[in-house]
């Protein structure tokens, strides 16, 4: 009789679910235009406008056991406490052998689940889709910044563990750092197959900054960067990762609804989320276990 306001109106509870979605509404270090704190809430309320069935995969989301935990309570203005809270929750999810799926929030937050995964598995490889390299050592003296998140992650992971695709923005030093320390593919997903082969025996964390998409497709983000990838290329590249890697965690970051008055960015994020939930679930099914 009453509306169900969870993501895609999912009815599964934590115990039934294999995939655990949670929102992380934090954007305090956003240097340009804040607003990603509203992403998960907006996605939840707009998820009503999308069908649960995927014509592309001929599969119904209703058959994917995922739980929507809601939004974490995060102390805006305190990045360290915020990261700790996320780490605590992801640790619990991973301890329960479930798959954490974080909806950001600014990209800095990815540091938390990657750190947890590295602690648990010891050999995490990071696949990073983004328009921006996020490799600054600091931003105006701030080490915990959305512009430094992959640099911070590089200090947590073993060497040869970071694989970046679609990057089309950064300062000169970031690209120099990348030459020494990461695998960085500019502009597109070329070489993804080789990377996947290379890391097929490792545990993988996959972080998706949605601004890797072209701003015409995804205008609702804090730092739109022209000349990005298109929807199908992103979806197919992501499918490859979910299908062929041992992905242990995933996040979708940087949707900023206030800069998306027509709502098309939220629709894009939701459609990707639906397709990814189905895809991750298929992996579970084929493996009969997580």
Q: Which of residues 52-81 bind its own copies (CB under 8 A)?
A: 52-53, 55-56, 60, 69-79, 81
- Do β-strands 125-129 and 162-167 pair in parallel, antiparallel, or remain unpaired? parallel
Q: Residue 280: helix, strand or coil by DSSP?
A: helix
Q: Does 37 bind its own copies (CB under 8 A)?
A: yes
According to CB under 8 A, which one of 225, 247, 249, 251 is a site residue for its own copies? 225
Q: Does 194 bind its own copies (CB under 8 A)?
A: no
Q: Does 191 bind its own copies (CB under 8 A)?
A: no
Compute the distance between CA of residue 39 and CA of residue 106 in angstroms, rounded to an integer.
10
According to CB under 8 A, which one of 13, 15, 97, 141 is a site residue for its own copies? 141
Interface residues for its own copies in 79-98 (CB under 8 A)? 79, 81, 85, 89
Q: Cβ–Cβ contacts within 10 Å for residue 187, how many? A: 14
# residues contacting its own copies (CB under 8 A): 80
Q: Does 27 bind its own copies (CB under 8 A)?
A: yes
Scanning 96-104, 153-161, 228-236, 278-286 for contacts with its own copies by CB under 8 A, the matching segment is: 228-236
Q: Does 233 bind its own copies (CB under 8 A)?
A: no
- CB 200 → its own copies: shortest distance, Å? 29
Residue position matching structure tokens 């328009």: 131
According to CB under 8 A, which one of 14, 227, 236, 290 is a site residue for its own copies? 227
Compute the distance between CA of residue 126 and CA of residue 139 in angstroms, rounded to an integer.
22
Which helix or strand (DSSP H or E) is residue 19 part of? Answer: strand 19-24
- Do β-strands 59-60 and 53-54 pair in parallel, antiparallel, or remain unpaired? antiparallel
Nearer to its own copies by C-beta: 9 or 123? 9
User: Are the beta carbons of 218 and 256 closer than 8 angstroms?
Assistant: no
Measuring CA to CA, how many Å separate 210 from each of 10, 110, 148, 253, 255? Answer: 23, 13, 17, 6, 7
According to CB under 8 A, which one of 10, 145, 154, 161 is a site residue for its own copies? 145
């Amino acid at each position: 009789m009453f509306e169900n306001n969870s993501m895609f109106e999912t009815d599964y509870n934590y115990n039934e679910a294999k995939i655990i979605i949670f929102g992380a509404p934090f954007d305090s270090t956003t240097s340009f235009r804040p607003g990603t704190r509203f992403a998960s809430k907006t996605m939840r309320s707009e998820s009503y406008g999308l069908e649960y069935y995927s014509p592309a995969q001929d599969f119904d989301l209703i058959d994917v056991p995922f739980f929507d935990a809601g939004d974490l309570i995060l102390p805006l203005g305190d990045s360290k406490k915020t990261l700790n809270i996320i780490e605590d929750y992801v640790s619990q999810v991973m301890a329960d052998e479930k798959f954490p799926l974080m909806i950001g929030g600014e990209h800095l937050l990815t540091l938390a689940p990657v750190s947890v995964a590295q602690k648990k598995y010891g050999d995490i490889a990071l696949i990073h889709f983004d328009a921006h390299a996020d490799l600054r050592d600091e931003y105006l003296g701030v080490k915990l910044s959305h512009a430094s998140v992959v640099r911070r992650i590089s200090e947590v992971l073993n060497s040869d563990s970071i694989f970046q695709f679609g990057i089309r923005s950064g300062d000169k030093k970031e690209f120099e750092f990348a030459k020494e320390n990461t695998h960085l593919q500019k502009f597109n997903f070329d070489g993804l197959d080789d990377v996947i082969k290379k890391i097929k025996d490792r545990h993988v964390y996959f972080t998706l900054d949605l601004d890797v998409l072209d701003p015409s497709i995804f205008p609702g983000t804090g730092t739109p960067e022209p000349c990005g990838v298109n929807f199908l290329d992103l979806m197919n590249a992501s499918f490859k990762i979910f299908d062929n890697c041992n992905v242990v965690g995933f996040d979708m970051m940087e949707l900023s609804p206030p800069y998306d008055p027509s709502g098309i960015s939220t629709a894009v994020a939701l459609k990707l989320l639906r397709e990814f939930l189905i895809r991750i679930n298929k992996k579970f099914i084929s493996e009969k276990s997580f």
